[in-house]
């Protein structure tokens, strides 16, 4: 077995204590000085452990205030594991959400593979995002049957992601997304009120909890006329986001020169 580095060891112990609830969501951890005393180490080493957990999105460190077990409210403007709503907020667009449908206990066998369990019943939320009245994004979200109450409670004025983490007390720390280019099918065209053949991003995303369980499955259709993806790569740094605009006026060559656009991808 490999030699255990002190700061990795400490990070692991803190992670365990968050998992088993010793440090609850939203509560503050002992101060760095206290941690260094608890683990009989130096401040620098304790800080190194915290830096790892912060990089993984598990804790949030605030200068002059304290270190907190990541709660959505605390990390909402820094973490990227967010629903589209937050991204649109950041772009200062007046996006409105309409609930198209809520389905409870639907049988959807193929989702077994996604959720990695024996269940075959899931609950689903279908939403339409509109930009100044124009439908621009169609999104379907699935949760396990046991979490259907989250969908029952959902209203359009809140992020499903945030509601989910609050109600279930499950911390989501990892997201995986697969995007394909597609030509929209009839059902999606109808809901999005588009009449011509239309290229779109088809995004499928899973959200994974601290316990390594898949707890949320999202599917989104982002039609080409309204959506682009912008990505910035600077050394190890590598970010991307979706950009939503009302149509036309989306010249990619011009977008390269828009400082605002790249600002938050640094």
Partner DNA sequence: CAGTGGTCTAGACCACACC
Partner DNA sequence: GTGTGGTCTAGACCACTGT
Please give the residue ranges that form the binding site for DNA (CB under 7 A): 3, 5-7, 29, 31-34, 40-45, 47-48, 61-67
Q: Distances from the Cα of 162 to the Cαs of 74, 126, 244, in angstroms?
A: 11, 17, 22
User: Nearer to a second copy by C-beta: 56 or 121?
Assistant: 56
Residue 209: both structure tokens together: 């909890």
Residues 116-145 that bind a second copy (CB under 8 A): 116
Residue 40's binding partner out of DNA, a second copy, none, with CB under 5 to 8 Å set by partner kind: DNA
The answer to whether 196 touches 228, Cβ cutoff 8 Å, is no
**Three-state DSSP string of the chain:** CCCCCHHHHHHHHHHHHHHCCCCCCCCECCCHHHHHHHCCCCHHHHHHHHHHHHHCCCEEEECCCEEEECCHHHHCCCCCCCCHHHHHHHCCCCEEEEEEEEEEEEECCCHHHHHCCCCCEEEEEEEEEEECCEEEEEEEEEEEHHHHHHHHHCCCCCCHHHHHHHHHCCCEEEEEEEEEEEECCHHHHHHHCCCCCCEEEEEEEEEEECCCCEEEEEEEEEECCCEEEEEEEECCEEEEEEEECCCCCCCHHHHCCCHHHHHCCC
Out of 204, 209, 245, 264, the residue judged to bind a second copy by CB under 8 A: 204
Residue 92's binding partner out of DNA, a second copy, none, with CB under 5 to 8 Å set by partner kind: none
User: Nearer to DNA by C-beta: 32 or 209?
Assistant: 32
Out of 177, 187, 247, 263, the residue judged to bind a second copy by CB under 8 A: 177
Measured distance CA(244)–CA(60) in Å, rounded: 29
User: Nearer to a second copy by C-beta: 64 or 252?
Assistant: 252
Q: Is 256 in the site for a second copy (CB under 8 A)?
A: yes
Out of 38, 44, 73, 106, the residue judged to bind a second copy by CB under 8 A: 44
Q: Is 16 in the site for a second copy (CB under 8 A)?
A: no
Stretch that binds a second copy, among 28-36, 61-69, 167-175, 186-194 (CB under 8 A): 167-175
User: Nearer to a second copy by C-beta: 44 or 156?
Assistant: 44
User: Nearer to a second copy by C-beta: 96 or 225?
Assistant: 225
Shortest Å distance, C-beta 22 to DNA: 16
Q: Is 200 in the site for a second copy (CB under 8 A)?
A: yes
Q: Is 56 in the site for a second copy (CB under 8 A)?
A: yes
User: Nearer to DNA by C-beta: 34 or 77?
Assistant: 34
Residue 232's binding partner out of DNA, a second copy, none, with CB under 5 to 8 Å set by partner kind: a second copy
Burial of 207 (0-12, 13-18, 19+ CB in 10 A): buried
Q: Return residues touching a second copy (CB under 8 A).
A: 44, 54-58, 78-81, 110-111, 113-114, 116, 173-183, 197, 199-201, 204, 206, 214, 222-224, 227-240, 250, 252-257, 262
């Amino acid at each position: 077995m490999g030699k255990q580095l002190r700061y990795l060891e400490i990070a692991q112990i803190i992670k365990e204590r968050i998992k088993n609830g010793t440090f609850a969501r939203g509560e503050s951890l002992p101060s760095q000085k206290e941690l260094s005393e608890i683990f009989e180490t130096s401040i620098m080493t304790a800080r190194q452990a915290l830096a790892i957990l912060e990089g993984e999105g598990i804790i949030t460190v605030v200068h002059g205030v304290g270190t907190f077990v990541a709660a959505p409210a605390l990390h909402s403007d820094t973490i990227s594991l967010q629903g589209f709503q937050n991204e649109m907020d950041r772009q200062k667009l007046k996006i409105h959400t309409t609930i198209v449908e809520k389905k409870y206990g639907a049988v959807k066998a193929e989702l077994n593979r996604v959720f990695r369990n024996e269940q075959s019943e899931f609950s689903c939320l279908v939403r339409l995002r509109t930009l100044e009245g124009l439908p621009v994004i169609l999104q379907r979200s699935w949760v396990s049957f046991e979490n259907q109450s989250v969908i029952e409670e959902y209203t359009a004025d809140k992020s499903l992601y945030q509601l989910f983490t609050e109600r279930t007390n499950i911390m989501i720390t990892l997201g995986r997304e697969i995007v394909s280019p597609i030509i929209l099918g009839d059902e999606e065209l109808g809901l999005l009120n588009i009449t011509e053949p239309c290229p779109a991003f088809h995004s499928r995303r899973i959200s994974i909890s601290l316990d390594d369980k898949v707890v949320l499955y999202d599917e989104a259709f982002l039609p080409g006329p309204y959506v682009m993806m912008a990505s910035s790569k600077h050394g190890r740094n590598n970010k991307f986001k979706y950009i939503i605009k009302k149509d036309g006026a989306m010249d990619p060559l011009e977008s390269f020169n828009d400082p605002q656009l790249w600002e938050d991808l640094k």
